[in-house]
Structure 1
């Protein structure tokens, strides 16, 4: 889509930069939900990553993307669930551990490595361990009851929603959002809606019923950049909207989405 900004991104095979000058994120395109993303900040990390790639990796699956700081004291990302009609179903801000915590991706076990060689990049005893600074919020890094090291802030407020804690209120303020009733920024909503329509429908037929659109706000600006579009998005924010991500199952969330989206598709015809 014209007019959409993205961080500078290269296929892994085309990347020959120096992370000591500009941090980058190595991203595995086959992974989702915060997996397969590694922040490279120095030449030693890049050397270890390249050694792992030579031993185990598939260059066709990886991208090198410039790492951009976001507002506030923790890495953040807008995550939007949109259907093929452009309807925004749910949205939230995902936030990772505060930079001051220096939390690292080094908690993988020998059992994890046995199942997935990529986990060598996170296994402290591996020669390939990157000891990368954690920049995503996911189940590997976080406890469900600990919002201080990461989590999600639901937007466009929910019928049922937990009160925002101080960490979350600070993040909302840093992004210029209301700390009591935070709404998805119009620029993000417009972009996500357009992506849903453009990729969801092809020649009048449904190609992707639901997509996850990830965007970031560049620190110190009102610029919003597209990080990625997920065909297998997490439905946590949808489950929150329906009541609670802990009490609503993924299949129930899918049934609710499919029912509503198909009604909108039929209405548009």
Structure 2
């Protein structure tokens, strides 16, 4: 979970409880101007930033999570977050939002993230609990009913293996021209949204990444399941 430690950002209500069953990396960052050396910023602010970061970590520890922290001073916020995700092979990144209780979880199925990663995240957080989990897919009509059914059935099988009860799972398929808008609309009836990361496109440079668009409309927590790190180039590793 990335958080700006020196700009008044806080942990929204319900987030520690949401991640109580997780191993949480709290990435405290402070973005400094290009003309300021990160070493200089670290010397000036590290003490205060570390104190604040430890306060955040304790909130997750008190909820029952396993917690580690990392503090960085950076010129490029998103670049640093992406680097840490790859270094730690993080399964998901949280776009925080407040939630009072987690009773209904929307899992938007699609994109380029493998089903086993989604099942690992959803099963790890909600398996064995009472939360209702809806596997949601919005199709523009180019997919056959059979392919959609096979996709959702495959994820359901993996969720069952990950410890999610069959009574927790339901599926919902909607025929919509704009899948992203469909997710935003469907999310209104849920407490948490889980979705996979997507590849950047021309549209993302204009409107932002899909998960950011959903989070800006939904306001609750959005868990963005990450793709695994790229395999090392075998030719390079042999040299």
Which one has a larger percent helix, Structure 1 or Structure 2? 2
**Normalising to structure 1: TM-score of the pair?**
0.29
